Amino acid sequence: MNNLEAMGWDGYWEGMFRAWSDAGPRQGSDAASQFVPARVVSVDRGSVAVRGNGIEARIPLGLPRNSEEDESWPPVVGDWVVVDDAAGSDVASISGILRRRGYLERPSTEQYGVAQPIAANVDAVGIVEPVFPAASVGRIERFEAIAHRAGISAVLILSKTDLLEPGEPAVPAELDTRGFAALVPWSSHLPQGLERIVDAIPDHGTIALLGRSGAGKSTLTNMLTGAGQATGSVRAGDGKGRHVTTARGLFFGNGRVIIDTPGVRAVAATAHRDDIDAVFPDIVELAGSCRFSNCTHAEEPGCAVRRALRDGALDPERFERYRRMLRESAFRAASDKRITRARERTSTKNNTRGRHAAMRHKGRGN
């Protein structure tokens, strides 16, 4: 198996590359251009590392050569790119990005109107959450909403199960697991669950691992691919692993492709309510039985959600996590809209000024 196939290259990507090639010469290319496909395995400030058949290089990034690449520029980990490995040139360059499939991003916790790219061309998301000392159900739910937004199936991997007391359940009772393609309790010391994780990865597919620092993502990547990344020890007092991964990276081996990501301290709620509702199908189903379609589940008569809370059929903490995410989502959506409008106004003003300047210049020339 060559590097391309080992990194997930298949007939689909071959067709995409041929379509790109058939579109004709690109701006900036010349007779010496030799276009070859490669995959982005890491991203640094101002450059990306790519690997392909016969090519392994770190390529500095400039502006995109073609206007059609503007929206997808710059490349992110997991992107399939077209490299101009020009004969006689000391430095390769990126001439294009193949159209993405399964683009994963998360809302910024620091800025509204900004999304932070995670990875491209992802077929499954592995949410790695340690069960000791206690799993964060809220973090799991927020990662699940991000995966749903991208249209990517999510696999829940509950790590560090060897630290649980005998008979202690690995799956939190308050977690609704219906939205996951698979749920796998796993420990690096008791690797029986590894086969179930492997089964959850699509053939020739790429899985991106998300989770907090020390959750076991790098250890899992090593076990799945044999990558040999550095891993941190586990503190004896609280079972927490030490932070190791500081940048996203794509690793492949043993027929698997894994994107390991840095640990996330806080996960912002998506601005899209539909993706939050998908994580809480039980609450959405209850809300459908409320007397009023616009019920806020506060004091309205005939509220099926409040009735479920009183009867113990709905966990109050789960309902509060849902409401908290909706509040954050609504505020983020409104803020994003204001920022988008401001950007559009600025763009319109700049275009108008540019036209006026061009007209004045033309007038002086006459």
Is position 11 annotated in a ligand binding site? no
Is position 126 annotated in a ligand binding site? no
Is position 297 annotated in a ligand binding site? yes
Is position 153 annotated in a ligand binding site? no
Is position 108 annotated in a ligand binding site? no
Strand-pairing partners, residue 209, are 126, 260
Is position 212 annotated in a ligand binding site? yes
How far is the C-alpha of 201 from the C-alpha of 215, rounded, in Å?
19
Is position 161 annotated in a ligand binding site? yes
Is position 204 annotated in a ligand binding site? no
Is position 219 annotated in a ligand binding site? yes
57 HSE (CA, 13 A, CB side): 21
Phi, psi for residue 10 in degrees, rounded to 5: -145, -170
Is position 8 annotated in a ligand binding site? no
- Report the chain's C-alpha Rg in angstroms: 24
Is position 193 annotated in a ligand binding site? no
Strand-pairing partners, residue 104, are 119
Q: Say which amino acid occupies 135.
A: A
Measured CA distances, 287 to 15, 283, 291, 294, 308 (Å) = 46, 6, 9, 9, 10
Is position 216 annotated in a ligand binding site? yes
Distance spanning both ends of the chain, measured CA to CA: 66
How far is the C-alpha of 226 from the C-alpha of 352, rounded, in Å?
57
Is position 49 annotated in a ligand binding site? no
Is position 293 annotated in a ligand binding site? no
Is position 217 annotated in a ligand binding site? yes
- Name the residue among 100, 110, 201, 87 with its Cα closest to residue 155: 201
Binding positions are 159-162, 211-219, 290, 295, 297, 303
Annotated binding residues for GTP, written as ranges, equal: 159-162, 211-219
Q: Specify binding-site residues for Zn(2+).
A: 290, 295, 297, 303
